[in-house]
Amino acid sequence: MTDNSHMEFIFPPTIRGMKVKDETALFPIGKIYCVGKNYAAHAKEMGSEVDKKEPFFFSKPPQALTQLKEIPYPTKTNNLHHEVELVVFLHKGGTNILQEQVKDLIFGYAVGVDLTKRDLQNEFKDAGKPWDLSKGFDYSGPISEIIRREKLLGDETITLKVNDELRQSSNISLMEWDVPSLISILSQQVTLKPGDVIFTGTPEGVGPIVKGDSIFAEISNIGSLDFIIV
């Protein structure tokens, strides 16, 4: 492998960075992993159940992550849904990471919303096709400022409101797979790197949003996120 300091590129590589609360340096974004069906009540409302054998992972591209206050309504959907989530940011990586080692990898957390083209997702599911494009479009992962917190969380509340109407309200202690187990299991499948991001799943209450809607999401001890669909 060539020393990075002497590498030449055909064109400059794209590096995306996200704001960290009370800091000027940006957090560099690597791969974005997401967990499906991690709250039993949400799995039930979707007509499914939590897979207790192993969590289900999917990915979003780096351009999905955003801290914009105005999020454009995406193309190719008539049924855009909100899914509030705890988002974890890593400053160390590895493979086959033990659960007790996970706390040493964590840089911090943010409040995130996994925007989903529900009609497209259902169409892909019915056809037995991958549904990446229903989750991985531009600006599909709005997040708050990252809060540096190099420790594990406990029983923080997680909520989301649309136009001041409470839609989602739960507690991260109700995740079927907690943060240490998620990261440990994921590291058995892929090599995690500094800059990697994990969306940890959404509780029940997901639903449609349209142009003009104002979204406010909050996780106790982490912070809040607000944006408008335009």
CATH code for the domain of 196 = 3.90.850.10
Distance between terminal CA atoms of the chain? 45
Q: Which two tokens stand for residue 196?
A: 């990697």
Residues whose CB is less than 8 angstroms from the CB of residue 125 and which lie 6 or more positions away in sequence, other chains included: 131
> What is the average pLDDT across 155-177?
97
Determine the average pLDDT of the residues in 121-129: 90
Show the domain range for 163: 14-229
Q: Does residue 217 carry a pLDDT above 70?
A: yes
Q: Judge whether 8 lies within some domain.
A: no
Q: Other C-beta atoms within 10 Å of 26: how many?
A: 13
Beta bridge partners of 59: 33
Whether 81 is covered by a domain: the verdict is: yes
The answer to whether 115 and 142 have CB atoms below 8 angstroms apart is yes
- Measure the CA angle with vertex 104, ends 173 and 42; round to 5°: 25
Query: Looking at the predicted structure, is the pLDDT value of residue 3 above 80?
Result: no
Q: Is residue 7 part of a domain?
A: no
Is position 1 within any domain? Answer: no
Please indicate whether residue 125 or residue 61 has the higher confidence score (pLDDT). 61
Q: What's the whole-number mean pLDDT along residues 90-105?
A: 96
Identify whether 4 is part of a domain: no
This prediction has a pTM of: 0.95
| Rounded mean pLDDT, 10-15 | 91
- The confidence score (pLDDT) of residue 48 equals 79
- pLDDT at position 1, please? 45
Q: Give the phi and the psi of residue 182 in degrees, each rounded to 5.
A: -60, -50
Looking at residue 176, its pLDDT comes to: 93
Q: What is the pLDDT of residues 44-91, one digit of tens each?
A: 887 777 777 889 999 999 999 999 999 999 999 999 999 999 999 999
Number of domain units in the chain: 1
Q: Is 5 contained in some domain?
A: no
In 29-103, alpha helices (H): 40-45
Q: Is the pLDDT assigned to residue 99 strictly greater than 60? A: yes
Instruction: Look over the chain and give the mean of its residue pLDDT values, rounded to a whole number.
Output: 94
